[in-house]
Amino acid sequence: MIFPVSGRKVPILGKFTEKKMHRYRTHTCGELRKEHVDQTVKVSGWINSVRDHGGVIFIDLRDHYGLTQVVIDPSRPFYKGIEHWRVETTICFTGNVVARVPETVNPKLATGDIEIVADEMEILGESNVIPFLVAKDEECNETLRLQYRFLDLRRQSLHSNLILRSNVIARMRELMVANGFMEMQTPILTSSSPEGARDYLVPSRVHPGHFYALPQAPQQFKQLLMTSGFDRYFQIAPCFRDEDARADRSPGEFYQLDMEMAFATQDDVFEVNEDVLHKLFTEFSDKKVDDLPFVRVPFLEAMDKYGTDKPDLRNPLILQDCSEIFRDCGFKAFAGVVASGGVVKTIAAKGCADRSRKFFDDMIVFAQSVGAKGLGYLRWIDGEVQSPIAKFLSEDEIARLKELGQVGDGDVMFFIADKARTATEIGAAVRNELGVRLELIADDVFRFCWIVDFPMYELDDEGKVEFSHNPFSMPQGGMDDLLNKDPLDILAYQYDIVCNGVELSSGAVRNHSPELMVKAFEIAGYDKSVVEAKFPALYRAFQYGAPPHAGIAPGVDRIVMLLANEPNIREVIAFPMNQKAQDLLMGAPGQVEHKQLRELHLEIKLPKKVEQEMGEQA
RNA sequence: GGGGGUGUAGCUCAAUUGGUUAGAGCACCAGCCUGUCACGCUGGGGGUUGCGAGUUCGAGUCUCGUCACUCUCGCCA
């Protein structure tokens, strides 16, 4: 579309240049300028707006490329030819391009120097009264938008988001090819993967009782391509996962810039991705992008300082541990937590001591809403420490806190006391909330970081050792670590790339050794037969000379979402599903004919509740 | 499955402490208007306040249930 969107560079539009007299158009609605004056032209598009002066009628005609004003004089035969000049009707005009007199030039339009005086008119497709305004990007009921997605997509905001998406993907391909990658396709109908999210299943007609699964990612295929000697693979890969929606997670399907590199180290993967991401974010946004190389933060440090493995580095606040200072203090609530093995985390926030009582009360309410028992704080005002808990603390304890937080007059320290894991989670949430409420988060920058050195294993709820990420990752110390280290201390060559607190992707150096694979699974409680049964292709392929390889798969939708400055991923997807994974336009998922079920050897057994409801309807 | 928010005209929203016939802008319909560009002016139609109960003399407003949308926890190798 023609309109610049603030905070984003104007997308580059494709060129349409048809100059011969054509059935529908000689020019687009974004194309005509002063140099076209006196030419006879034909344009087609949608009626964006109508200004009927009783005599002369002005119509703004809109297409993909822009807006052009068409003038209809009362003397024209078609002046009264149609009953309504209804917006969103598609229509074709033939006429002369004339220069507008200086007073009537419209500087807001690229075509504002000229207008077309219509000689002929043809209605191409009449529009009913539209359910919401297309010409105006105002908030609108989400259900309605999804039901009339074809109209929603005509609107400036969505339309330009999808142009941006197309341009970003085109550039991705260029950059990947320039980095020596080749694009390949992998199957959509494949086998169910044993771990990960829930699969979408497709029943087989030929093999009763057997199912295909849609790939959650082309993970195993790309590793197989590495063993097949393709050196650098990429794909704009559709991924299907049956998981519940979030603002940054569309249900059902999404796209990854999937890539894998043979004979590659972690640093090789970082180098390629830094090149691609830095160029994409620099070229498609006006925001400042971190210089290369991006910061690398070990997982444990990230958890320690930010309480999360996807920190928003725009937020300058950090968590600090101050358990020892409170261990023997007079504030029994905190001392008690430390005595029972918990921790006290603090966040030092500068310059907010003069905030209102309501600010601090609201922060406590927020902390409680994310599971905190409370939120302590100390305020330094006019050389005094003010706080409900100050009277329980000695001067020495307060001095040590002041030293830890590097705070002084006008500053505040917040405290969260809980079991380590809970305090970390709450700390992360409080850190974010403080960042927002204190307006510490710059909105004109993209801050990237790599999170590295993820643990290979973690304990599940029942205290059993399990893979903490994917089982294909290479343990950092190889067989030596697997044999000799406490599993929970083993690190993996596993990494995430994070931008402004959004996890763009996980990746890893893969475990390409059958022996290491068997041992790694053994530690997680699976014997060799499980590896053979669950990953037959990879396990077999790795017996025949597998190259060391590594990869990653940044989320395309999330990248575009960040570039488009959209808070919701639906705004960068042409036909998204709603939160309940329904396509309201196409009516998916839907019921199918009995014949289809019979062919697939399927019978439907509904949950009791659904069965009752359907009975009531019938 | 759990928690929060929202639900009033086709759309976006308003409606004081529970109190008259639920209003406005846009859209729609009719009329007027020859230089507007979100044209303007006059008039009109359009509402089971998501749905169902309850409290009350009286409910858009309070309570409970339910449905829808959304954010979120769980889930997401």
pLDDT (tens digit per residue) in A458-490: 888 777 888 888 888 999 999 999 999 999 999
**pLDDT score of A10:** 45
**Separation between the CA of A576 and the C1’ of B62 (whole angstroms):** 39
**Separation between the CA of A91 and the C1’ of B34 (whole angstroms):** 23
Helix axes A156-178, A266-283, angle to 10 degrees: 140
> pLDDT confidence of A534, banded at 50, 70, 90?
confident
**pLDDT score of A462:** 77
User: Taking the complete model, does pTM exceed 0.95, yes or no?
Assistant: no
DSSP state of A81: T
Residue type, A384: E
Q: What is the mean pLDDT of residues A556-562?
A: 96
Which nucleotides of strand B lie under 7 Å from a protein CB?
A: 1, 10-13, 26-30, 32-40, 68-77
Q: What is the mean pLDDT of residues A417-429?
A: 89
**CA A586/CA A591 separation, integer angstroms:** 12
Q: What is the mean pLDDT of residues A421-440?
A: 89
Nucleotide B6: nearest residue by CA–C1'? A141
- The closest nt to A570, taking CA to C1', is B70
**Separation between the CA of A140 and the C1’ of B60 (whole angstroms):** 21
**Does residue A311 sit in helix, strand or coil?**
coil
DSSP state of A294: P
Q: Is the pLDDT of residue A8 over 60?
A: no
First to last CA, chain A: 48
Q: Is the pLDDT of residue A279 over 50?
A: yes
pLDDT in tens, A236-270: 999 999 999 999 999 999 999 999 999 999 999 99
- The closest nt to A98, taking CA to C1', is B35
Q: Is the pLDDT of residue A411 over 90?
A: yes
**pLDDT score of A472:** 86
For residues A18 and A335, the model is more confident at A335
Q: What is the mean pLDDT of residues A120-124?
A: 92
Closest C-alpha to A495, from A313, A309, A223: A309
Q: What is the mean pLDDT of residues A8-16?
A: 51
Nucleotide B36: nearest residue by CA–C1'? A51
**pLDDT score of A404:** 92
Nucleotide B74: nearest residue by CA–C1'? A244
Do A99 and A114 touch, CB atoms closer than 8 A?
yes
Q: What is the mean pLDDT of residues A560-573?
A: 95
Q: What is the mean pLDDT of residues A95-100?
A: 96
**CA A411/CA A413 separation, integer angstroms:** 7
> pLDDT confidence of A371, banded at 50, 70, 90?
confident
Q: Is the pLDDT of residue A16 over 60?
A: no
